[in-house]
């Protein structure tokens, strides 16, 4: 295997010059850069990334921790982040925490051990205190979908209370007053906030929230199916169903059809997230847009700006949900 010394000798330059070329230092002439690059190619030399990291104190890698690696929600976020870093010559190391406190901590420690220059964290189970303490360490990080007052400048969030409100308000505007709700796990802040917004809209219409029309799901498609069956078997009448994400909504739609319910004529259904398949299901699903791709790119910009001192567009920490109207919600004929 060729060494940096052999590259230096063949190119007729110093070791320091070879190092500057490998680190894309601007203080190298084009002629010299070409000589070094040609020597590296001729010798088949590949820079040792670990050695480069130790020498430059920069690994050019960023750690990304997400709750899950599957599903239509996290894919766009990971893609947006990876694309933004790839354009800047950085690489992403991905780990999953599975909404479990111990696994999330282990994943963070793993990413730090890989000498990541910065971290992007989508975490749900670890405590605010842990993250506040982590912020005192050497590895900078930004949070997605998590707000901590003490770390507000590094929290990129969606107004989920407003999102829950917009979903319910639209359904109420169509004349529905008997509305069932399938929530996410209510120990999660985003699930709590969406339900809070839902209740706010009901209160505006002088309607009480009926606990008998609530089912707590887990944001997975199967729980939407089970949730609908539970609500249906409860024999509580409802003309509309709002789900706290699109996956649960599609699960509920499938089970409703198995129960011979016509959609949307006999039951209106509303989702949340606006993942890619919502426009392709039948009927196309009305939902709330969660701009997770844009939020992922914003998290990447935060790292590029705060870790790599790159010039980026103005950083945005609070994103607004948007009502997406399709055909799954019909006016209630009363």
Q: Residues 201-214: pLDDT tens digits?
A: 999 999 999 999 99
Render pLDDT for 255-271 as a digit per residue (tens, 0 to 9). 999 999 999 999 999 99
Share the mean pLDDT of the chain.
92
**Percent composition of the chain: helix, strand, coil (DSSP 3-state, to 5):** 45, 15, 40
Q: What is the pLDDT of residue 193?
A: 98
Please tell me the predicted confidence (pLDDT) of residue 54.
45
Its pTM stands at 0.83
What domains, with CATH codes, occur in the chain?
4-47 (1.10.260.40), 61-158+292-319 (3.40.50.2300), 160-290 (3.40.50.2300)
* Assigned token pair, 124: 């749900």
Q: Over 60: is that where the pLDDT of 52 sits?
A: no
Q: Which of 279, 290, 287, 309 is nearest to 80 (CA)?
A: 290
Confidence of residue 48 (pLDDT cuts 50, 70, 90): low
The structure tokens 């539970």 sit at 230
Q: Looking at 38-47, 53-62, 118-127, 162-171, which range is the least confident one?
A: 53-62
pLDDT at residue 56 is higher than 60: no
Residue 55's pLDDT is what? 47
Beta strands in the chain (DSSP E): 61-66, 91-96, 118-121, 141-144, 155-158, 179-183, 214-216, 240-243, 268-270, 287-289, 318-319, 322-324
In this prediction, residue 309 carries a pLDDT of: 92
Separation between Cα atoms, residue 215 and residue 226, nearest integer Å: 9
Per-residue pLDDT of 191-241, as tens digits, reads: 999 999 999 999 999 999 999 999 999 999 999 999 999 999 998 899 999
Query: Residue 316 gets which letter from DSSP?
Result: -
């Amino acid at each position: 295997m060729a060494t940096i010394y052999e590259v230096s000798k063949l190119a007729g330059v110093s070791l320091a010059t070879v190092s500057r070329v490998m680190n894309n230092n601007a203080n190298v002439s084009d002629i010299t850069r070409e000589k070094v690059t040609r020597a590296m190619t001729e010798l088949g030399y590949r820079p040792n990334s670990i050695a480069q990291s130790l020498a430059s104190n920069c690994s050019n890698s960023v750690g990304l921790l997400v709750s899950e690696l599957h599903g239509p929600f996290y894919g766009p976020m990971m893609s947006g982040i990876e694309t933004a870093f790839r354009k800047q010559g950085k690489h992403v190391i991905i780990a999953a925490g599975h909404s479990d406190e111990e696994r999330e901590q282990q994943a963070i420690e793993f990413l730090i051990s890989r000498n990541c220059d910065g971290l992007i964290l989508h975490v749900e189970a670890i405590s605010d205190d842990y993250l506040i303490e982590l912020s005192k360490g050497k590895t900078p990080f930004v949070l997605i979908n998590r707000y901590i007052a003490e770390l507000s400048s590094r929290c990129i969030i969606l107004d989920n209370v407003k999102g829950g409100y917009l979903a319910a308000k639209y359904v109420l505007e169509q004349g529905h007053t008997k509305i069932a709700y399938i929530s996410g796990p209510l120990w999660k802040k985003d699930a709590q906030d969406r339900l809070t917004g839902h209740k706010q809209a009901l209160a505006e219409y002088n309607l009480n929230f009926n606990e008998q029309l609530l089912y707590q799901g887990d944001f997975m498609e199967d729980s939407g199916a089970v949730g609908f069956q539970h609500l249906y078997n409860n024999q509580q009448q409802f003309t509309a169903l709002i789900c706290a994400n699109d996956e649960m909504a599609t699960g509920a739609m499938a089970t409703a059809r198995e129960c011979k319910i016509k959609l949307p004529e006999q039951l209106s259904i509303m989702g949340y997230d606006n993942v890619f398949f919502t426009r392709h299901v039948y009927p196309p699903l009305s939902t709330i847009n969660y701009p997770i791709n844009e939020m992922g790119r914003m998290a990447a910009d935060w790292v590029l700006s705060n870790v790599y001192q790159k010039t980026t567009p103005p950083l945005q920490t609070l994103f607004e949900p948007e009502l997406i109207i399709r055909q799954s919600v019909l006016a209630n004929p009363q």
